[in-house]
Structure 1
Amino acid sequence: MQSAVEQVRSSTQLPDLRPDDVELMYMVCAFETAWQRRRQRASVWCSFFDVASLRALEFAKDLEYYWNDGYGYELTHRIACPAIADMFAAIDPDEYQPQAQAMPRANATFYFTHSGTLLKLLAHLGLAKDEEALTHKHFGSERLWRTSEIDAFATNLAFLRYECEQEPPRVLVLHQERVVRLPGCPQNEDLCPLATLRRLYAHSVESCDFEALCQANDV
């Protein structure tokens, strides 16, 4: 990170730039790149960075999200359990909402949320999980937790219930409109039995006390 700061100080000829200033420039570069992509016009802010600095800053943001919204601490992604419970209530209402049996099931249920919530949910599901906890030592190595790929603009996650004749219901999971196979589900086919999902995430539904999880311990 320090090398990136020094490089930007040199390219801008502003020796007093702080790390926070460089991070802000990087974020403006990223947002303007997304906004102006169709115009094929590069953001002027990106011109102050070389490739090595961009990679360092990208990794720094990945580290931040990993520990704030991902696998860094178990509690961080455990608090996504209400979303899991709501998902089951939507795709399996007869099991999780007995009072809804007399009501027609909705064809679709949509939730809209922020980046941090979706990252917590991805971690709760076990997606994009590296073998080791992400630290500064992993800079330059391949990693699954890359927020520019798993948490880009308009990131989405979908659970589609399939009901086939003479077969129990199964679920297709999509992330960024691409099929993903959840850990614990069959890895040789795209559809996961709904019963398997119930078993895998039973604790998320049955022991989801959000208020207790978020309550700070008395010191």
Structure 2
Amino acid sequence: MFYARSFNAEPAMQSAVSHVRAVTKIMDLTTQDVQLMYTVCAFETAWQRRLPPSVWCRFFDVASLSALEFAEDLEYYWNDGYGYELTHRIACPAIADMFAAIDTLKPRANATFYFTHSGTLLKMLAHLGVAKDERPLTHKDFETKRLWRTSEIDAFATNLAFVRYDCTEREPQILAMHQERVIRLPGCPQDDDLCPLSRLRANYVDSVERCDFEALCSQAAN
């Protein structure tokens, strides 16, 4: 991805690489080497969080960790997020299936579960409009505050849930949750945790009625 690669030449990333070279005394470490060390640090921390910190984490300070985190966020943003509209439009079958499960007088089951990987969850979140910044994220935005932080929106065991409430005095309402926390989706009431089912469906009508996955895949291939 252009912006992810471009960030490698930015002062923040160059400083991170220089810091790791100074700590390790290995002066020919590349940016890719440092990013791999960062990944190992992150995974070992997740796997063994009750043990002493991974030795790989000792090579980083707060500034270098922030730069490497941003580089990773950029990559995910353009690979799986808002970078290109087509990228997250291909999540439409999952959205359509969600409505098929809840948008009936007699839901087909009490609960429906799907298990997937990071890339799919990020595409789904982007399709829904979650954690969307006001403008596209580029290599020049390291110092800006951003909503797209994969360490927060795409952690291990990330989950997304839609719960239908059948009410006696109003139409069915939907509670949306991300990471077991209530989220208020774009186009839904921002002063109420519940969103009317008809409004939610109207917000994503294209995903339900005009979801041609094969055509989207062909467009991506071209």
The answer to whether TM tops 0.5 is yes
Report the AA paired with residue 26 of structure 1: Y
2:38 is matched with which residue: 23, 26, 35?
Answer: 26
Residue 2 of structure 1 aligns with which residue? 14
Shift, 1:20, TM fit: 1.4
Q: How far has the Cα of 1:212 moved from its partner?
A: 0.5
Which of 46, 53, 67 is residue 57 of structure 2 equivalent to? 46
Letter in 2 for 1:11: V
Residue 133 of structure 1: SS of its match in structure 2? coil
* Residue 139 of structure 2 corresponds to residue 136 of structure 1: yes
Letter in 2 for 1:64: E
Report the AA paired with residue 97 of structure 2.
D
Match of 1:90 among 91, 101, 104: 101
1:148 counterpart = 2:160:
no
Task: Give secondary structure in 2 for the equivalent of 1:160.
Answer: strand
What RMSD over aligned residues (CA atoms) do the two structures have, in Å? Answer: 1.5
Between 133-142 and 172-181, the greater mean CA deviation after superposition = 133-142
Partner of 2:124, secondary structure, is helix
Structure 1 unmatched ranges of 5 or more = 95-100
Post-superposition offset of 1:169 = 0.3
Q: What is the TM-score normalised by the length of structure 1?
A: 0.92
- The whole-number CA distance in structure 2 between the counterparts of 1:188 and 1:33 is 38
Contact 2:80–2:122 (CA under 8 A) maintained in structure 1: yes
- The residue type equivalent to 1:87 in the other structure is M
Q: d(CA) in 2 for partners of 1:218 and 1:180?
A: 34
Report the counterpart of residue 173 of structure 2 in structure 1. 170
- The one of 120, 123, 129 equivalent to 1:126 is 129
Counterpart of 1:97? none
Gaps of 5+ in 2: 1-12
The one-letter code of the counterpart of 1:136 is: H
For the 8 Å contact 2:133–2:146, the answer to whether it is kept is yes
CA distance in 1, matches of 2:170, 2:202: 18
Three-state SS of the structure 2 residue aligned to 1:159 is: strand
Alpha-carbon deviations, 1:58-108, whole Å to 9, x = none? 0000000001100000001101100100100111245xxxxxx6xx73110
Distance in structure 1 (CA, Å) of the matches to 2:104 and 2:170: 18
Equivalent position of 2:3 in the other structure: none
Equivalent residue number for residue 13 of structure 1: 25
Report SS of the residue matched to 2:140: helix
Identity of aligned residues (%): 74
1:104-162 Cα offsets, whole Å, 9 max, x none, are 73110000001010000100000100011101121022110000000000000000000
Distance in 2 (CA, whole Å) between partners of 1:105 and 1:217 is 33
CA spacing shift, 1:189–1:38, aligned 2, 3 Å = same
1:63 to 66, 69, 74: 74
Distance of aligned partners of 1:18 and 1:198 in 2 relative to their CA distance in 1, 3 Å threshold = same
Corresponding residue SS for 1:119: helix
Q: How far apart are the structure 1 equivalents of 2:168 and 2:196?
A: 14
Q: Secondary structure at the match of 1:158?
A: strand
Count of aligned pairs = 210
Tell me, in whole angstroms, the C-alpha distance in 2 between the residues paired with 1:178 and 1:169: 20
Match for residue 198 of structure 2?
195
Contact 2:86–2:220 under 8 Å retained in 1? no
- When residues 28 and 78 of structure 1 are mapped into structure 2, their CA distance, relative to the original with a 3 A threshold, is same
1:112 and 1:32 map into 2 onto residues whose CA distance is 23
